[in-house]
Structure 1
């Protein structure tokens, strides 16, 4: 395959605390901020912006104070009317959009990495809105190779840019690092260490890319989200009437086949998966999704071919930006 030349990743944002009780990202950003000045002086290949996304929620160790910040980055929300009753997180999303974006604009940071924890047994996942963003997919493959002791997977949410609702959508490229299992409001050293390794390897890849390294092409596995499944509920009270079946609990990314156990009712009955095709479950029994009516998400797995890539030269960048170069440059 022909080598694809892509613009330099000059500015990278690493964000933690978008959900204030997901503590690996909170403590990692705080730790990185301690050495930020020295790192900037030593690093000529990339400028790293460290952001504590939702400081009010972090202070209260809550997912959010009024509304979920990580659902506030659609174009409609970022550009809608504001009043003195506008929730704090919507105001904060606009501040972050000004700091890191604007979303979809040429001034946006080159890459946003937003750090999250899940109570589900998902290992380390990159979650992105594109299955053809070669930067994100190459970083994913690099992390798979550099972190062999924990499963590393790529989840694709198939939404158009204007409907992309989470913080990483503000950058030219972006993904969330979602890692678990870890209870909310708790930090586990093994989960924190895995997240720290993921961020460090991501930044190493960016530096290598910016220095001119050619990354070979190949193929990767991508999980594209198909649908969410809610818990069974009482028709009158809307209370849930079943929990995740014991045979499914903690089996994120293990193939769920038609007629496999899905839920166990509180009276002890087994409810089975009635889908027409085998799919891969993830975010199984995620604590924060009870309020969203999601017991688990289901995905299809497929192979995506990625081309070899390298950074554009200055001449290639000008050609791409302006469509021509001067005779002197030629």
Structure 2
């Protein structure tokens, strides 16, 4: 397949980095706090030298959940912000509305409003996972040339797993409510490389075409459950635990029941598991997700 097609892309003058969407995923919380401190120092220097102020918007998304070191206060903020893409963000709210619904409106006004000329051009939302996924980017389209070029750039400089104009950075393993130095540092490096790419792009650099490997989600798998109580009856098999993005073949061990029996993968094709045994997904009924690996073309790009 040819890769020499040239794609003109819009400049990215407004970039947002958000941490604490889930208040107990602490790498993003502490990284945004550190970046805010550095940004204040830089802005003070720029004001003294009469330079243009920094253009990266840094946001602590869910302050109440952060204060309580909980994933959320009332409901998952991720789901609330996703709803804004499909429903009007300005309708009336009840006095009893969940905190995260109210906060999603505030974030929409801060980062948008959606579809408006004032909306930010790129959002990177920082997350931790208890799964052994390394540094992983999750995007919502495999045709977003800006995200694909950022992903390709990052794959060239660091080990990265991609799951395809906003993107979430997932990094683990890290227990919720804990910050690990190596995980924090890996997130910091990933954010720095992403912002470096944006600066290079905005300054007029042309990025060559090529290919990028992505993982496209196929389905979720729940834990085995008791038909009456709906309690889980098995855990992730030891042979699968911590093997995120390692190919899972039909008949490979999948679960181990609490009585010691092995439950095997009954799929018809080999797929790549990820979010294996993610702590926060027990409530969602997800033991792991399965994806296909794809080799996607990334056309040559330049600032329009």
Q: Cα distance, 1:9 vs. partner? A: 0.3
Matched, 1:20 2:37: no
TM-score by length of 1: 0.86
Aligned to 1:96: 107
Q: Distance in 2 between matches of 1:308 and 1:109?
A: 24
Q: Distance in 1 between matches of 2:261 and 2:14?
A: 53
Aligned to 1:265: 257
* 1:179-328 correspondence to structure 2 within 5 Å: 179-312=171-304
Runs of at least 4 residues of structure 1 off by over 4 A? 42-46
Q: RMSD of the TM alignment (CA)?
A: 1.5
Aligned to 2:59: 51
Aligned to 1:36: 39
Does the CA-based 8 Å contact 1:46-1:207 persist in structure 2? no
Q: Secondary structure at the match of 1:302?
A: strand
Residue deviations 1:183-229, cap 9 Å, x none? 00000000000000011111111000000000100001110111110
Residue deviations 1:32-74, cap 9 Å, x none? 1111134343985961000000000000000000000011122
Gaps (5+ residues) in structure 1? 157-172, 313-330
Does the CA-based 8 Å contact 2:39-2:54 persist in structure 1? no
Does the CA-based 8 Å contact 1:10-1:46 persist in structure 2? no
Aligned to 2:71: 63
TM-score by length of 2: 0.93
Aligned to 1:315: none
Q: Distance in 2 between matches of 1:248 and 1:48?
A: 40
Q: Cα distance, 1:76 vs. partner? A: 2.6
Q: Distance in 2 between matches of 1:210 and 1:155?
A: 25
Q: Distance in 1 between matches of 2:198 and 2:144?
A: 14
Aligned to 2:125: 114
Does the CA-based 8 Å contact 2:61-2:107 persist in structure 1? yes
* 1:110-149 correspondence to structure 2 within 5 Å: 110-147=121-158
Does the CA-based 8 Å contact 2:210-2:297 persist in structure 1? yes
Q: Secondary structure at the match of 1:35?
A: helix
